[in-house]
Amino acid sequence: MPLNVLVLHYKNCLVTYLCLRSLMVVKHASRDRSIFIEKLLVLLRDGRKLLGLLRSFDQFANVVLEGACERVIVGDLYCDIPLGLYVIRGENVVIIGELDLEKEELPSRMNPVSEDEIKRAQKAEREATDLKGSMRKRMEFLDFD
């Protein structure tokens, strides 16, 4: 069930086109109802990556994910932090992509870790980037480009 998504930034406005080619029709309690069976990866403006099952969306790219989790990746480590049912405002969406349920999501070199470990790794990475930035500022007078 492919989900086609086009997200554009045009003159500081977010223009989003969502198009579901097919919906799965499920017989439930003697009535037909359409439900979304799409596992999505949503990249937000602040750099966070959210995964979950698509439950609803609208023309403004507002999205409701069921069983959502935030995927945090630091080097070869990753952690999926569970969020539950999650509503995302369309203005925060950069891109939405469908995940193939039959394919493996991550390369085999990636190692799952706990929330505490990934937060420590994030902090260490942030400190290393800050140090690199401060070193670059100190050497700015040398005009290395």
Q: Does domain 3-142 have CATH number 3.40.50.1370?
A: no
Q: Report DSSP letters for 78-100, one per residue.
A: EEEEEEEEEEE-GGGEEEEEEEP
Q: What's the pLDDT tens digit per position in 86-126?
A: 999 999 999 998 887 777 777 788 889 999 999 999 999 98
**Distance between CA atoms of residues 36 and 54, nearest Å:** 6
In this structure, are strands 31-35 and 39-44 parallel, antiparallel, or unpaired?
Answer: unpaired
Domain spans in the chain, listed from the N-terminal domain onward: 3-142
Long-range contacts of 101-108 (CB under 8 A, 24+ apart): 101/39, 106/78
Contact 40/20 with Cβ under 8 angstroms?
no
pLDDT exceeding 90 applies to what percent of the chain?
Answer: 41
**Distance between CA atoms of residues 121 and 110, nearest Å:** 14
Q: What's the pLDDT tens digit per position in 24-38?
A: 333 333 344 444 567
The half-sphere exposure of 50 on its side-chain side, counting CA atoms within 13 A, is 26
Q: Is the pTM of this model over 0.75?
A: no
